[in-house]
Amino acid sequence: MASFQKYKTTKGEMWMFKTNLGINHQTGKIKYITRRGFKTKREAQLEASKFLQQVATGKGILDKSLLFTTLIDQWFEQYKLSGVKKSTILNRQTTAIPNLKKYLGQYPLGKITPIVYQEFLNQLFDLNYSTSTIETLNIVGKLIFKYAYENDLIDRNPAKNAVVPKKVATIEELKSKSLEELYLTKKELITFLNYIKLNTTTLDYSIFLTLAYTGIRIGELLALQWEDIDFVYETISISKTLFRNENRIKEYELTPPKTKKSSRIILVDKVVLEQLSYMLFEQERIKKEFPAYHDKQFVFAKLRGDLSGYPESRRAVGFRLKRYLQKLGISKSLTLHKFRHTHVSLLAEAGVDLQAIQERIGHEDSKTMRKVYLHVTKEVNKQAVEKFGQLMKE
């Protein structure tokens, strides 16, 4: 049963209602709920009736004293059962959750307002956290508060309209920032591959040649097994990706690819297949010398030492990419992920349309890929406009 009371404010008289929800089993005391700010008694009565009906159906009981760190743990247990990839779960566990707990963990839910949450994002910006890290934290924060709202733990989502702060680029930075920093040109790629072929290992040359000629993700490449390579029909079948926890070489798992479109069969150039054929020959030779070879038929397996046969380390490949670029004097800060843009740019230069490129690299859509494609085909598009203009003048 609710009670109603008139009270005075600087704006005039208002109405409120107060009701109890029974005994709080943790404190042994009666738990009261108060709602204020109604212009008339009738408004207060209608809201009280609505609230009590929600309580009767298990809704409307908001636990604003619950600590955010406890909510995070509750959400994460449910999140792990939602079918997301293990690599995504690991990313949330190692990056987003520790930072959310560090800065907001000890706040009761009722104290995290939209202003408090926005100030949290602004604080990360002031502490020079990268934009991508802040965006990741914001994504996870929104997921957690959405979970709390849908489970009637809060009555509004404080992260709903939050904005990730971003640095305003200077004119000099805008001038120096070029899309060509995202990929290697044809000339640079040829120089890069020739250097690796002559100065490094068979494994490294095979890895970077295949990445450059196929545009597949590094996780997809490391998961390839010989049954995925069809030397007759000249194709590679991509149906899995390699997942490792904390880069432990012997502890790996083959998981489904990133998206539905990531599962695909692509045609491969003969130069790649010839190199892979040589890799297969090398592996068979090494297996005879090392009986302890981890023979799970991985294409890009380590060829030396006690870890022979295990898929190569993603981190090690990324480190060597950076080192080889430095040795060649190529100052572009390419990562293995950005290395895919090289394949996109060269396909665009060869006249392949955007949809065909998307299907080949297994990407539903990407703003960066579109920018690279449009940048590379800019001259072709310019010629098309000029031809149209000329046609209209005739």
Homologous superfamily in CATH for domain 68-150:
Tyrosine recombinase, N-terminal domain (1.10.150.130)
For residue 225 the two structure tokens come to 């097994």
Identify whether the C-beta of residue 89 lies closer than 8 Å to the C-beta of residue 79: yes
Report CA-CA distances (Å) from 153 to 14, 61, 108, 305. Answer: 27, 7, 11, 55
pLDDT at 173 over 60: no
Average pLDDT over residues 95-123: 93
Q: What are the tens digits of pLDDT across the range 333-374?
A: 888 887 888 888 888 778 877 777 777 877 655 665 566 656
Domain boundaries, the chain: 3-56, 68-150, 183-380
pLDDT at 157 over 80: yes
Q: What are the tens digits of pLDDT across the range 203-214?
A: 999 999 999 999
- Computed over every residue of the chain, the mean pLDDT equals 84
Percent of the chain with pLDDT over 90: 44
Q: What are the tens digits of pLDDT across the range 76-87?
A: 988 988 888 888
Q: Which amino acid would we find at residue 15?
A: W
Q: What is the predicted pLDDT for the residue at 293?
A: 94
Q: What are the tens digits of pLDDT across the range 6-60?
A: 988 877 888 888 887 665 545 666 667 777 788 899 998 888 887 777 666 555 5
Q: What is the predicted pLDDT for the residue at 377?
A: 58
Q: What is the predicted pLDDT for the residue at 176?
A: 47
Torsion sign (Cα): 216, 310, 274, 334: positive
CATH architecture of 183-380: Orthogonal Bundle (1.10)
Report CA-CA distances (Å) from 315 to 196, 250, 275, 282. Answer: 18, 14, 23, 23
Average pLDDT over residues 296-309: 93
Percent of the chain with pLDDT over 70: 82
CB-CB neighbours of 137 under 10 Å: 24
d(CA 117, CA 121): 7
d(CA 162, CA 134): 11
Q: What are the tens digits of pLDDT across the range 215-263?
A: 899 999 999 999 999 999 999 999 999 988 777 899 998 988 767 778 8
318 class by beta-carbon count within 10 Å (0-12 exposed, 13-18 middle, 19+ buried): middle
Range list of H helices, the chain? 41-56, 68-79, 86-91, 97-104, 114-126, 131-150, 171-176, 186-199, 202-214, 218-223, 270-289, 314-327, 336-349, 354-361, 367-376, 378-393
d(CA 389, CA 118): 50
Q: What is the predicted pLDDT for the residue at 343?
A: 82
